[in-house]
Amino acid sequence: MTFDPSLSELADEAKTWRRTIHQYPELLFDLPKTAALVTEKLEAFGCDEVVGGIAKSGVVAVINGTRGAGKTIALRCDMDALPMLEQTNLPHASKVENMMHACGHDGHTAMLLAAAKHLSANRDFAGKVVLIFQPAEEGGGGSRVMIEEGVLERFGIEEVYGMHNQPGLDVGSFAIRSGPMMAGGDRFVVTINGKGGHAAYPHLCHDPVLAGAQMIVALQSIASRFTNPFDPVVVSVTYIEGGNASALNVIPAAIKIGGTIRTMLPETRKAVEARFREVVSTTAKLMQTDAELDWRPGYPVTVNDPEKTRVAAGVAQSFAGADRVDSDWPATMGSEDFSYMLEKRPGALIWLGNGDTADLHNPAYDFNDDAIIHGLRYWVTLVDQQLNGKTDV
């Protein structure tokens, strides 16, 4: 296999972009500096179309191949940072207090920019490549908003590919899993309305505290008695509010409980939500109270398409070697908003080794610049194989 020597020079250049982006982290949908840097570079590279302002700060670029009609595939990265204080003491550390690129989205952005530069100059492929730079992965569902604003139809996207760095996985190694690979996460707050009164006369009240206690216990039966033990489900009640510690002789009129639910299969997610609603309303009724449910849907289960997973693993193997690609990487209970795109189009998310670094979302974390060349090779080899049928670059 041969490599274009300019790819390593390009990776060095991308390292400087990555460090610039790292110094000016921005949050959620509000990424004026990052989006401006991305747009300016994509225009300078000569992409055929560069469209900004999608989901506020999202940017999409199109690069047409010179071999005529063919498939349209999308390569997606995220650009947003986290609201936390960086503690790396690195020369390129964040210059913005309480904002930090602690998930490596600076590296993801730089690698996709590098791929855009290479592909703009090397268009020997059929069809077109759409590069998606999305905002608000960290809790805002930027991917969902880009879909709602029509990004998949507007650019004729047929397949979607994503990449995320993984601390603990060697630099130069990749990992992937077919099917569900990250959990779906939903949140809930239940207000239990009863009838308050004097605690010495409970028969004259409808006690929401006792109803809440019953409900918390009953909810634990979902994971232990309702779903298959081989299908992971987490139901965690993490919040209780009610009553008053300086009025211990008063049964309150209402209390609140809240928490989160994680599931690994889309059908289990639906079934668990239905069962959850049933347990909440019947327990409330049993205890002569009413329950008001505030259901807050989170990111869906991230499901890799089996065929595209084979494509992605094959691409990584073609340059990294078979022993550096783990195709059976364990699923995690974390969530990722690329899942919205994978619900709409076949594709796959692959883990890129970040080496022996601090974990994601840790104040000591930094994206590993040595990983850039491997991520860049993945993107350009993927395009070459998917739009050209070639097996190496």
Residue ranges that bind Zn ion, judged by CB under 5 A: 103
CA 113 to CA 133: how far, in whole Å? 9
Tokens read off for 64: 């047409």
**Nearest distance from C-beta of residue 361 to Zn ion, angstroms:** 6
**Nearest distance from C-beta of residue 88 to Zn ion, angstroms:** 16
| Phi, psi (rounded to 5 degrees) for 15 | -60, -40
**Nearest distance from C-beta of residue 388 to Zn ion, angstroms:** 30
**Nearest distance from C-beta of residue 251 to Zn ion, angstroms:** 43
Nearer to Zn ion, 79 or 103 (CB): 103
Nearer to Zn ion, 99 or 103 (CB): 103
**Nearest distance from C-beta of residue 179 to Zn ion, angstroms:** 21
| Nearest residue to the partner Zn ion, using Cβ | 103
Contact 281, 289 (CB under 8 A): no
**Nearest distance from C-beta of residue 350 to Zn ion, angstroms:** 13
Nearer to Zn ion, 27 or 114 (CB): 27
Nearer to Zn ion, 60 or 103 (CB): 103
**Nearest distance from C-beta of residue 33 to Zn ion, angstroms:** 19
Nearer to Zn ion, 103 or 116 (CB): 103
Nearer to Zn ion, 302 or 327 (CB): 302
Nearer to Zn ion, 112 or 219 (CB): 112
CA 212 to CA 204: how far, in whole Å? 18
241 CB-near residues (< 8 Å, 6+ apart): 255, 256, 257
